[in-house]
């Protein structure tokens, strides 16, 4: 490995350390407690170093959100590769979505639960062209394919996709935010929510 390549890897490694630290502080202590100085202290670097990678706190948290959306998109893409029919692809994608949130609750909370206007300021998070839009597009594509195959009722793709998302986001958020509630066995509950949602869309 050459010197330039090693330095580039070291830069990327430090950048990821910064993102990880910001996410952990944000989730455990909240937006108001997060600062570039606190991130620097967490990874034992100077605040000046953090600013070499991110302009400000909003830019750093924007990257945290994008990272979460990329990870979610990857999970859904894997589901698309294993499904044999459009309906099976949709079902597996919804299961993967919920499993992603439960496996990565910090990512999920930053990306889907925390209010974006508080984090970035009104209008400062561009959904258009973002990893979040790409992840949601995968769901919309799956819905369109199910409509084309006749597995679910034909209708407005965007409305149907958002209706589905509202349901699976709800159960994911509840399982993350209310761990003490006496839910039934987790896998049974997840399958019930997904299957009930899909049955409601069938012709």
Q: Which CATH number fits domain 1-54: 1.10.3720.10, 1.10.10.60, 3.40.50.720, 3.10.310.10?
A: 1.10.10.60
Q: What's the whole-model pTM score? A: 0.78
Among 203, 200, 199, 198, smallest CA distance to 142 is for: 198
The fold of the 64-199 domain, in CATH, is Tetracycline Repressor; domain 2 (1.10.357)
Residue 127: predicted pLDDT:
59
Average pLDDT, the chain: 87
Q: What are the domain boundaries of the chain?
A: 1-54, 64-199
Question: Please, what is the Cα angle at 59 between 26 and 127, to 5 degrees?
Answer: 95
Instruction: Quote the longest CA-to-CA distance of the chain.
Output: 61
Distance CA 50, CA 55 (A): 8
- Taking a C-beta distance cutoff of 8 angstroms, is the pair 142, 89 a contact? yes
Q: For the ranges 124-128, 155-159, 182-186, which has the lowest average pLDDT?
A: 124-128
d(CA 93, CA 7): 38
For residue 182, give the 3-state DSSP assignment: coil
């Amino acid at each position: 490995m050459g010197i330039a390549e090693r330095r580039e890897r070291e830069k990327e490694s430090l950048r990821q350390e910064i993102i990880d630290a910001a996410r952990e502080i944000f989730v455990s202590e909240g937006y108001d407690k997060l600062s570039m100085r606190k991130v620097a202290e967490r990874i034992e670097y100077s605040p000046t170093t953090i600013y070499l990678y991110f302009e400000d706190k909003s830019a750093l948290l924007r990257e945290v959100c994008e990272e979460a959306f990329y990870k979610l998109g990857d999970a859904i893409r894997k589901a698309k590769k294993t499904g044999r029919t459009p309906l099976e692809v949709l079902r597996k994608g919804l299961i993967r979505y919920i499993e992603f949130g439960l496996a990565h609750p910090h990512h999920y909370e930053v990306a889907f639960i925390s209010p974006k206007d508080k984090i970035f300021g009104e209008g400062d998070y561009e959904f258009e062209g973002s990893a979040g839009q790409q992840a949601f597009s995968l769901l919309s594509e799956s819905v369109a394919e199910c409509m084309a195959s006749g597995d679910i009722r034909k209708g407005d793709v965007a409305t149907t996709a958002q209706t589905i998302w509202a349901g699976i986001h709800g159960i994911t958020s509840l399982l993350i935010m209310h761990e003490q509630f006496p839910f039934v066995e987790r896998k049974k509950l997840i399958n019930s929510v997904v299957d009930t949602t899909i049955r409601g869309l069938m012709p």
